[in-house]
Amino acid sequence: MSVALYPGSFDPIHLGHIDVIEQALELFGTVVVVTMHNPAKPSGAFTLDERQAMIAESLAGCPGVSVESFPGLAIDAAVRFGAEVIVKGLRSATDFDVEQQMALTNHRVGGVRTVFVPASPELSYISSRYIREIAQYGHDLSRLVPVPVASRLSQLSARRANP
Ligand code: PNS
């Protein structure tokens, strides 16, 4: 078994991400979930620390999983956390186009291979972007996110209503 790095912006983590982590655990035995900055998504709902805290709460007691954050590149995070491989989930052809380019670049520059796992069909529509948008209006999102995240999202809408 080996160590896989699962990097993402996780703003916030949702059930599609959890599914990828479960698949990666089956394949590699150990998964380091790393909250990172995506330069294409500069403004998020949660800080890096808040995202990492929600992931840690959602995955508490899950054997083989560790939760980290890292301010730089995924290839440097792989070295830092002793990961031999990067894991990414794919929901669609659009995801593939972006992820293939990153995977090839990361391999050429850092020598780290990326393994893609397909999102389970019943979860493949879930996106952090729409979760953030709907949360602003106070709807219950517990069918899309782990319980600790659902409660943080409800605080987000309360914060918006009473700034
Ligand atoms: O959940 P996301 O937003 O799709 O995750 C994208 C993320 C954070 C994994 C990606 O932007 C990333 O790897 N960021 C770290 C910076 C990096 O390594 N850039 C070089 C890409 S080839």
Q: Which residues, 6 or more positions from 72, have their beta carbon under 8 angstroms from its beta carbon?
A: none
Question: Would you state the structure tokens that stand for residue 57, as one six-digit string?
Answer: 């709460």
The residue to mutate among 85, 96, 102, having the most atoms of ligand 1 within 8 angstroms of its beta carbon, is: 102
Cα gap 22→89, rounded to integer Å: 11
> CA 72 to CA 74: how far, in whole Å?
7
Catalytic residue among 2, 41, 113, 129: 41
**Cα–Cα distance for residue pair 22/120, rounded to 1 Å:** 11
Kindly list the domain boundaries of the chain, sorted by start residue: 3-125
Q: How far apart are the first and last CA of the chain?
A: 48
Whole-number pLDDT of residue 69: 95
Q: Which amino acid is at 21?
A: I
The yes-or-no answer on residue 14 being catalytic is: no
The pTM assigned to this predicted structure is 0.95
39-98 pLDDT per residue, tens: 888 778 899 999 999 999 999 989 999 999 999 999 999 999 999 999 999 999 999 999
Asked about 128 being catalytic, the answer comes back as yes
DSSP helix/strand/coil, 112: coil
User: How do residues 92-142 score in pLDDT, each as one tens digit?
Assistant: 999 999 999 999 999 999 999 999 999 999 999 999 999 999 999 999 999
Question: Which one, of 75, 103, 108, lies nearest residue 90 by Cα?
Answer: 103
Cα gap 47→45, rounded to integer Å: 7
Q: Which atom of ligand 1 is nearest to the CA of 109?
A: 22
Distance 21 CA to ligand 1 centre (A): 17
Separation between Cα atoms, residue 145 and residue 151, nearest integer Å:
10
Token representation of residue 136: 């602003």
Q: What homologous superfamily is domain 3-125 in, according to CATH?
A: HUPs (3.40.50.620)
Residue 60 CA to residue 79 CA, distance in Å, equals 24
- Say whether 41 is catalytic: yes
